[in-house]
Structure 1
Amino acid sequence: MAMTSVIRKTNIQGDIWPGLPKRFQTFLFFRIRKPDQFKTQLKAFVPEITTAETASAWKDAKKREKKLHPKDLMPGNVVPSTGINISFSAAGLAALGKFTFEEAAVKKDKKLSAIFRERQLRGGLFSIGMHQDLVYEGWDDPRDLREAYKPFGEKKERLIDGVILVTSNVERDMVEKVNRVKEHFLKESDVDPDTYILSNDPVVEFPLVRIGTTRPDGKEHFGFKDGISQPNIEGLDDTPKGREPKAVKPGMIFSGYEGDEMGQPDWATDGSFMVIRDLQQLVPEFDKFMEDNAHRAPFAADSPNPKEKLAAYIMGRWKNGTPVDVSPHDDKAGEPEFHAANDFDFQPVDRHDKCPFGAHIRKMRPRGDLNDDHAVIIRRGISYGGDVTPEERAARKSDGKFERGLIFVCYQSDIRNGFNFLTTRWASNNHFPDKKTKYVGEHGPGLDGIVGQRLSHHPPRSLGLPDGNEPSENRIELDNWVIHRGGEYFFSPSIEALREYFTGPPDYPELEGGS
């Protein structure tokens, strides 16, 4: 693939960059039952897809509106905008004849082998999917997964071929658009267009529907401001200032640009791999832990709110977004310029008295702890579920009837060097950031207290905390407040690829089903 230099906003799906408007979002996970009919429907559907250019214009309009009416921008007055994007799993590409799992058979045939080299989307983790990647490796407990994310039948088929994202700043607009999307893909069937689970031999079926809602002040369920500190992309975003992380090459997010080392086929240019991760949050248990353990953190002893300070040190930011590296002792409540601050780099990197080495934001983006960003993702998640009930708060325990959490979404040009690397090699690695044992002890910085996972043969979940000593001696054992409910790996193609390549004939007609 020849590298592209000019980023084509009209060809990129808008959720990748700059992000779709999403006070409300529906995830329509689909399975393709009739590939030929689906291709016809997909071709007619492409004009509905929101591009980066359109999403960027909406974002600019919202900024202008907010500048003109800074105090009047209430939910009912936001710029109306409803977005749609679509992505496919490897199983979905195979259903369309655009991917094969039969590499051995292909390599025996000269013609098929040439097609494979020219057109097959590369990425081993994308091919096997999230279940095989994380369950078989021991990170995910299969008992915790939603049924739709599990393989089924004797052939262990994957149920999810793709996902349609429908987002809006206005709930009724989202519901209207969801109904239109379902009607579009169901119009040849004799079923109610508002039915999710289909019958009568449909073209597609929707085995899973997930709905997310942005919470007040943009905070996730643990109470922290979400979506802060996204990577700046060269050629698209503003140039970073001061100690902000350097801008990243566009190829770290999009296929076919400088920084993309995957060597993808030409049709993949302007696309990006999407990861969806379903995370249930145990909020009462999280709050209980902070209340019960704040006294064990020496740095919290003189704080007016010890439990909030412990939570801030585990996250790396106060709940309003202020980084503890910038303000380790208070959250700068009356100084909003600090609440999305990004101008810090954890220097000096041989100390963690301001921000623990194992804090979530330091694990996920080490800044000064590394020379450069070589593992980068753009996050586009959204919360789901209602607030903690008074009964749950009193019991300090989650009620299974009221599940809540985060539908985590991220984009990158390489899943192995993006999401997988961040979660397994950094978040779940007790000894990352590297070379810190001199300052935090032989057990290392510890696990990421938010998303870090523990393999069965690993030591208990713990986090090294600053206490003024070198090496620090204070270490706290962590509970597990996030249940990993599964997910899937997808590819979000360009508009051109959707319109032309995806709706064309199968690449491997000689192989049954194109897979």
Structure 2
Amino acid sequence: MNNSEKQEELFDPNNVKHDQMLGNLQGNILKGHGRDFTSHLFIRFYKNKREEAVEWLKSFSGKVTSCKKQLKETAIFKKSGIPGSVFFGFYLTAEGYSYLGKKTDFLTSMKNAELEDPDVTKWEEGYQEEIHAMILIADDNYDTVQNHKQLLVKELNGFSDILKIENGNVIRNPGGEGIEHFGYADGISQPLFFREEIEAYREKYKYFQAFDPAFPLEQVLVKDPLLENENAFGSFLVFRKLEQDVKGFKRQEKQIAEKMNLENDEIVGAVMVGRFEDGTPYALSHEDGILDNLTNNFKYGNEAGKCPFLNHIRATNERDEASRSMIMARRGIPYGTFYDIEDTVEKKRGLLFMSFQSNIKNQFETSQLRANAKKDPVIGQSSPFTAEALCFGESTENRQMDFKSFVTLKGGEYFFAPSIPYLKNLN
């Protein structure tokens, strides 16, 4: 049985035999929650308050949004326009499991990862601490998210410390697509897990299928390691706060464009990112504005040797069998206000990166290390370097272009998204 056949058998939400599994699984893993605003609470439980913490966790499990509930609410929204309820997610670190008296050999910490990241001592306050858990709150209404955040802060008072709170907010371009702060359409190359989405994609590209977004369950889900229940699954979560120097990125675009005598600064960003701001893949067109601008239906040729770096989307997804094994379900969201060239005060902005996977080492870490090695100019944690003008299509002059990364890690951690029954039956 090939991946596609296995995929369709496992991921039809209308199949009754999967009903219990979907009810036990946290939402946002197989499909993004789709809300515009989020709040992320990073907490550490008091050492002498384990009993109170366990009782609260068991109670809070009733609020955690299941995949089943998320799918039902999505169907209702598509049919009647009625929005879903507030989304809640709960995730534990290795230290959190240890605090609860559980074995932690299945989970490690980002603090110990060998990723060429900035030293932990340079991370923001809060992320340097021992984090036990993260709570995710999401809704389309900013005030609703903030009200629930305040209620949770009060609930947690007395048996835990709130180490850090991050607020996320979707930003969109005039076409309505979600974008990140550099201005590029984001969240395009996502794995698909459900029959309806896969069949729609295959119908759209039935005459030319260069990239298949259908992935098996095993790409993101694993059996809950601490619960004897064949219908209880979870997923490994990577969280990273990535600060973006948008002003610096735009300045570099302009400087290189002027040096190259390019009429459009954006061609520089398209080479570095791999897409124009509207999503048009540079591999398909050296101008933006193609009709199917958000397409993933392309592969790469053998032109990589012309340049000492790979564009961001190629560095993280070469679109071959090896890169398919690294694909993660990315569920990040921007933070901060969108960059305005007229801003007189420097504002902090960036991405609250989140990805779900079945193996952090083989997926996230392998992908990040590849981005470093290939000098991904967007997320690669590599030293500044120079590149020939040839990278931008010039062959007559041997001019050097200086490059550096404009994304800085401010902190993060590895988590596991336990099944809802695990939380409900803690002891």
Q: Deviations over 1:197-255 (max 9, x none)?
A: xxxxx211211111111113321111111111101237685155311235222112000
Match of 2:254 in 1: 291
Partner of 2:380: helix, strand, or coil?
Answer: coil
1:17 to 18, 30, 40: 30
Hey, what does 1:174 align to over in structure 2? 145
* Matched residue type, 1:323: P
Please name the residue that 2:117 is paired with. Answer: 139
Cα deviations by residue, 1:416-443 (Å, 9 ceiling, x for unpaired): 011111011x10113xxxxxxxxxxxxx
2:182 is equivalent to residue 219 of structure 1: no
CA distance in 1, matches of 2:222, 2:227: 9
Alignment: residue pair count:
396
Contact 1:380 1:410 in 2 (8 A): yes
**Structure 1 counterpart of 2:215, which letter?**
V
Counterpart in 1 of 2:405? 480
User: Which residue, 348, 354, 359 being the options, matches 1:414?
Assistant: 359
Instruction: Please identify the structure whose Cα radius of gyration is greater.
Output: 1
Query: Is 1:460 aligned to residue 410 of structure 2?
Result: no
Query: Is the Cα contact below 8 Å between 2:316 and 2:323 reproduced in 1?
Result: no
Determine whether 1:97 maps to 2:77.
Answer: no
| TM-score normalized with structure 2 length | 0.83
Report SS of the residue matched to 2:183: coil
Match 2:293 to one of 339, 343, 346:
339
Asked whether the equivalents of residues 272 and 413 of structure 1 are also in contact (C-alpha less than 8 Å), the reply is yes
Higher strand share: 2
- Aligned partner of 2:126 in structure 1 is 148
For residues 245 and 462 of structure 1, what CA distance do their matches in structure 2 show? 32
Residue 192 of structure 1 corresponds to none
Q: What letter corresponds to residue 384 of structure 1 in structure 2?
A: Y
Q: Is 2:91–2:417's contact at 8 Å kept on the other side of the alignment?
A: yes
Taking structure 1 as reference, are residues 84 and 265 closer, same or farther at Cα in structure 2, changes over 3 Å only?
A: closer
Give distance in 2, aligned partners of 1:246 and 1:387.
30
User: How do 1:50-65 residues align onto structure 2 when only pairs under 5 Å count?
Assistant: 50-64=65-79
Q: How far did 1:23 drift?
A: 0.6
Once residues 223 and 319 of structure 2 are traced to their aligned partners in structure 1, the CA distance between those partners, rounded to angstroms, is 26
What is the aligned partner in structure 1 of residue 214 from structure 2?
247
Distance in 1 separating the partners of 2:196 and 2:306: 32
In structure 2, give the amino acid aligned to 1:55: Q
Q: Deviations over 1:55-112 (max 9, x none)?
A: 223333444457xxxxxxxxxxx72531000000000000001125xxxxxxxxxxxx
TM-score normalised according to structure 1 size: 0.70
Counterpart amino acid of residue 284 in structure 1? K
SS in 2 for 1:277: strand
User: What letter matches 1:378 in structure 2?
Assistant: A
Secondary structure of 1:182's aligned partner = helix
Q: Summarize the alignment of residues 90-489 of structure 1 with structure 2, pairs less than 5 Å apart.
A: 90-100=94-104, 121-122=105-106, 126-127=107-108, 129-134=109-114, 138-142=116-120, 144-151=122-129, 158=130, 160-186=131-157, 202-217=158-173, 218-233=178-193, 237-239=197-199, 241=202, 242-256=209-223, 266=228, 269-297=232-260, 301=262, 304-305=263-264, 307-332=265-290, 335=291, 338-346=292-300, 349-351=301-303, 358-368=310-320, 370=321, 373-388=324-339, 392=343, 399=346, 402-424=347-369, 426-430=370-374, 447-454=375-382, 460=385, 462=387, 465-467=391-393, 476-489=401-414
Once residues 483 and 256 of structure 1 are traced to their aligned partners in structure 2, the CA distance between those partners, rounded to angstroms, is 34
**Cα deviation, residue 491, structure 1:** 0.3
Letter in 2 for 1:219: I
Give the Å deviation of 1:392. 4.6
TM-superposition CA deviations, 1:284-332 (whole Å, max 9, x none): 11110000111445xx73xx42x11111111111111121222222333
**Unpaired segments ≥5 residues, structure 2:** 1-8, 11-16, 203-208
**Residue identity opposite 1:244 in structure 2:** F
SS for the counterpart of 2:126 is: helix
Equivalent residue of 2:365, what SS? Answer: helix
CA contact (8 A) 1:14 1:52 kept: yes
Unaligned runs of 5+ in 1: 67-77, 101-120, 152-157, 187-201, 258-262, 431-446, 505-515
SS state at 1:48 partner: coil
Q: Percent identity?
A: 26
Q: What is the rounded CA distance, in whole Å, between the counterparts of 2:329 and 2:257 in structure 1?
A: 32
Q: Is the 8 A contact 1:235 1:250 kept in 2?
A: no
**Aligned mate of 1:492, from 413, 417, 423:** 417
For the structure 1 residues 149 and 9, does the alpha-carbon distance in structure 2 shift closer, same or farther, using more than 3 Å as the test?
same
Determine the C-alpha separation between the residues in 2 that align with 1:48 and 1:327: 47
2:77–2:84 Cα contact (<8 Å) kept: no
Helix, strand or coil at the partner of 1:480 = coil
**Structure 2 letter corresponding to 1:29:** F
